[in-house]
Amino acid sequence: MSIPSSNCDTVSMAKVYAAQGYLRKAAAIYRRLAALQPERDDLQKALTDIERRIAELPAPTRKDTELLLREWIGMLKAAQRRNADKPPERNGRTDQGSET
């Protein structure tokens, strides 16, 4: 099984994500790196530490979830308004005249 990775899959990037609170993103990078380099105990230790931190996070409350959904809905509505103001794309075609 191949493990999708990117050029951003580095220990440094995982540390940045973890420091910013993006623990699941950091864990995903550590998982990919550990799978590619199983001899590196430091990667497995870092992954274990991140997974412990994730497990210690409090579950989101109903209010947290409601606020997040309202924020997403607001962003979707704003995107729809922006897209409604744009002329339709022509997909590189020159639709001049009628098709026969």
Tell me how far apart the alpha carbons of residues 9 and 26 are, in angstroms, rounded to a whole number.
9
My answer on whether 24 and 41 are in the same domain is: yes
Contact criterion met (CB below 8 Å) for 27 and 54: yes
Tell me how far apart the alpha carbons of residues 58 and 87 are, in angstroms, rounded to a whole number.
45
> Which residue did the predictor score with more confidence, 86 or 22?
22
In a domain, 72, yes or no: yes
My answer on whether 31 and 48 are in the same domain is: yes
Tell me how far apart the alpha carbons of residues 7 and 80 are, in angstroms, rounded to a whole number.
33
In a domain, 24, yes or no: yes
Q: 0.85 exceeded by the pTM? A: no
Structure tokens at 70: 């309202």
Mean pLDDT of 82-97: 70
In a domain, 81, yes or no: yes
My answer on whether 17 and 39 are in the same domain is: yes
pLDDT of 81 reads: 92
Dihedral (C-alpha) 10, 15, 18, 22: value to the nearest 10 degrees? -30
Range of the domain at 25: 11-56
My answer on whether 19 and 39 are in the same domain is: yes
Total domains in the fold of the chain: 2
The answer on pLDDT for 19 being more than 90 is yes
pLDDT band of residue 4 (cuts 50, 70, 90) is low
In a domain, 46, yes or no: yes
Q: Which tens digit of pLDDT belongs to each residue from 20-78?
A: 999 999 999 999 999 999 999 999 999 999 999 999 999 989 999 999 999 999 999 99
My answer on whether 63 and 51 are in the same domain is: no
